[in-house]
Amino acid sequence: MPMTVKELEVLHASQGHEKSGLFSGISETGLQTLLQASSLRDFAAGHVLVQQGDKPECLYMVIKGAARTFRMDAEGREATIRMLLPGDTCMEAVMFMGGDSPINVQVMEASQLLLLPAHIVKRHVLDDAAFAANLLRIVARHYKNAMHQIDAMNIKSPLQRVGYYFLTRHLEMAPDSLEFTLPFRKQTVANYLGITPETFSRTLQQIKALGIDIDGERIKMRDAYVLCHFCDSDTAALCSRHGKDGCEQCAHHQGNPAVAHSVMRNTGRT
């Protein structure tokens, strides 16, 4: 089921917020090949696209709406891996992992997605190094994000997790504004951060005390530097204010004797 002309138009219109770069730099004919094989479909809120254990059949790109990927244990408790907004893709990594899908994918609101069959993607990777490189970049970015999640869980307190999440949200959504919104409902964000909705709620109270106004899903910062406490060396690179005067926190990123020192301990056998 190739796409109709109308659908292609919709897709092109969507390229504006195309963050993933899945198609960037690839030849026009290559793009045509891929799009011919794809289809554009609408899904209702809550629709489950992929379940753990399914064979990965498609790469999904969110055109309109939102989705999430998550894992579930035997008791039915969920750990959110990623939350997707328009332009984001999922299952690109899964199809190269080998074996069945380790994740569930669920549409979170009425959404429109582009579906690209897995066998097409796999074949095209071997034909087109630029496409392969794009996928590599995307998967590497996911991996980076996963690493952040890991150390957030291992290391950070709820306040730090939420603060860091706010910082990345702010930088990604509206770096020039003192205001941004939560792109998902609070319980979803809480699960993504690995805390309960109750704890999330209480943590928001603490955040308010730092000078951030929270009104429903609207977050208003008193000034541009209130989130600097939560900045780390990765994130600093994305922040236009990094190193400026107001950013007191940044002092401890560059030299960071604590790091060098701490790394040097802890040698040892296998």
Partner DNA sequence: GAAACCTCTTGATCTGAATCAAGCGATGCG
Partner DNA sequence: CGCATCGCTTGATTCAGATCAAGAGGTTTC
Instruction: Restricting to residues 156-215, name those near its own copies by CB under 8 A.
Output: 156, 160, 183-185, 188, 194
Stretch that binds DNA, among 40-48, 119-127, 164-172, 190-198 (CB under 7 A): 190-198
Residue 157 contacts DNA per CB under 7 A = yes
d(CA 97, CA 86): 24
What, of DNA, its own copies, none, does residue 204 touch, CB below 5 to 8 Å by kind?
DNA
Q: How many residues bind its own copies (CB under 8 A)?
A: 84
Stretch binding its own copies (CB under 8 A), from 6-14, 29-37, 150-158, 201-209:
150-158
Please identify, using beta-carbon distances, which residue of 86 and 158 lies nearer to DNA.
158
Exactly one of 53, 175, 211, 246 binds its own copies (CB under 8 A); that residue is 53
Q: How far apart are the first and last CA of the chain?
A: 54
Which of its own copies, DNA, none sits in contact with 264, Cβ below 5 to 8 A by type?
A: its own copies
Residue 62 touches its own copies, criterion: CB under 8 A: no
Q: Among residue numbers 19 through 58, which ones bind DNA (CB under 7 A)?
A: none
Residues 213 to 232 in contact with DNA, rule: CB under 7 A: 214
Q: Toward DNA, which CB reaches closer, 15 or 187?
A: 187
User: Residue 199 or 235: which CB sits closer to DNA?
Assistant: 199
Binding residues among 88-117 for its own copies as defined by CB under 8 A: 93-100, 102-104, 106, 108-109
Q: How far is the CB of 220 from its own copies (least distance, A)?
A: 19
- Residue 7 interacting partner from its own copies, DNA, none (CB closer than 5 to 8 Å by kind): none
Decide: is 15 part of the binding site for its own copies (CB under 8 A).
no
Q: Does 196 bind DNA (CB under 7 A)?
A: yes
Contacts of residue 86, defined as CB under 8 A and 6 or more positions apart, other chains included, come to: 14, 17, 62, 63, 64, 65, 66
| Residue with token string 């092109």 | 12
Tokens of 203: 């943590």
Residue 262 as a binder of DNA (CB under 7 A): the answer is no
Sheet of 58-64, strand order: 39-43, 111-117, 58-64, 89-90
Tell me which residues touch DNA (CB under 7 A).
157-158, 185-187, 194-202, 204-205, 214, 268
